[in-house]
């Protein structure tokens, strides 16, 4: 038996969805379900080894080739970029990046430079660059919705799922930036050196989406 293929999963909801998918493919994920505090877990009948990591780290591990594959949100891919293959849209973990402002605020009026608060400065920067618009981008770590309410920013670029948080804080989406869902990524060398095994897994996954 070859050494197992290492697959990094984004801890949390994407991890649960991926484990659900693997089980649907008929693989026994008991070890992952009963993981305790372990971070590397076997899925023996798929010859897989699941690694649990934060979203950004999934990309880092796959880029360096210490994990062969990974499951990570498009949001993280857009913000981090990097060199890897983005093979499959897994279809779960769906949400979107959107530009939101205080309700009724006319964002595109006037000639003043607008200030944007966001957890995703690269996503925000490239969105406004494409529009040819100079903006001032401020990185916020916690609840980005606070920034326009405290009048630090004119708008925010953030992940929106239901829009409830926005609504309860008097904000509204004025423009969608990009749709988001979970992606299956692979290291560029692993895909070549372990082509047959990875290809088999991907075909199985695509058939069961």
Partner 1 sequence: MKNYDLITPEGTKDLLFGECIVRRNIESSLMGLFRSRGYSETITPGLEFYDVFNLNSRYFPQENLYKLTDSKGRLLVMRPDNTMPIARIVATRLRDADLPLKLCYAQAVYTTEPSLKGRSDEVVQTGIELIGSQLKMADLEVISTAVDSLSSFGMEFSLELGHIGIFKELVGKLEASDKDKEAIRKLIENKNFPALNDLLDSFGGSPVITALKKLPALFGGEEVFEKAEELMPDENIKHILDELREVYADASELCGGDGSITVDLGLVNKTDYYTGLIIKGYLQGHGEEVLSGGRYDRLISEFGYDVPAIGFAVNINAVAKLMEKSDVLPAEPKADVIVYAEEGCEVAALKAARELREQGLIVENALFDDLESVREYAMEKKIAKVVVIDGESKEVNI
Minimal distance in Å, beta carbon 60 to partner 1? 7
Q: Which is nearer to partner 1, 143 or 203 (CB)?
A: 203
Q: Which of residues 78-107 bind partner 1 (CB under 8 A)?
A: 83-89
Residues 178-207, mask of contacts with partner 1 (x by CB under 8 A): --------xxxxxxxx-x------------
Question: 181-197 in b/e burial notation, b at 16+ Cβ within 10 A?
Answer: bbbbbbbeebbeebeeb
Q: Report 2-61 residues binding partner 1 (CB under 8 A).
A: 60
Using CB under 8 A as the binding rule, whether residue 209 contacts partner 1 is answered as no
Out of 66, 113, 133, 152, the only residue in the binding site for partner 1 (CB under 8 A) is 66
At its nearest, how many Å lie between partner 1 and the CB of residue 31? 25
Give the shortest CB-189-to-partner 1 separation in angstroms.
5
**Given the rule CB under 8 A, which residues bind partner 1?**
60, 63-66, 83-89, 186-193, 195
């Amino acid at each position: 038996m070859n050494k197992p293929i290492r697959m990094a999963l984004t801890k949390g909801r994407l991890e649960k969805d991926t484990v659900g998918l693997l089980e649907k493919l008929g693989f026994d994920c008991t070890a992952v379900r009963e993981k305790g505090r372990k971070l590397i877990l076997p899925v023996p009948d798929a010859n897989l080894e699941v690694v649990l990591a934060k979203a950004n780290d999934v990309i880092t591990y796959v880029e360096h080739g210490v994990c062969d594959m990974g499951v990570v949100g498009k949001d993280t891919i857009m913000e981090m970029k990097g060199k890897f293959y983005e093979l499959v849209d897994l279809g779960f973990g769906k949400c979107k990046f959107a530009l939101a402002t205080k309700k009724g605020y006319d964002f595109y009026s006037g000639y003043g430079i607008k200030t944007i608060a966001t957890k995703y400065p690269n996503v925000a920067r490239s969105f406004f660059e494409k529009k040819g618009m100079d903006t001032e981008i401020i990185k916020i770590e916690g609840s980005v919705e606070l920034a326009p309410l405290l009048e630090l920013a004119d708008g925010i670029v953030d992940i929106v799922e239901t829009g409830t948080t926005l609504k309860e804080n008097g904000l509204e989406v004025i423009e969608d930036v990009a749709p988001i869902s979970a992606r299956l990524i692979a290291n560029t060398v692993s895909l070549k050196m372990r082509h047959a095994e990875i290809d088999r897994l991907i075909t199985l996954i695509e058939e069961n989406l």
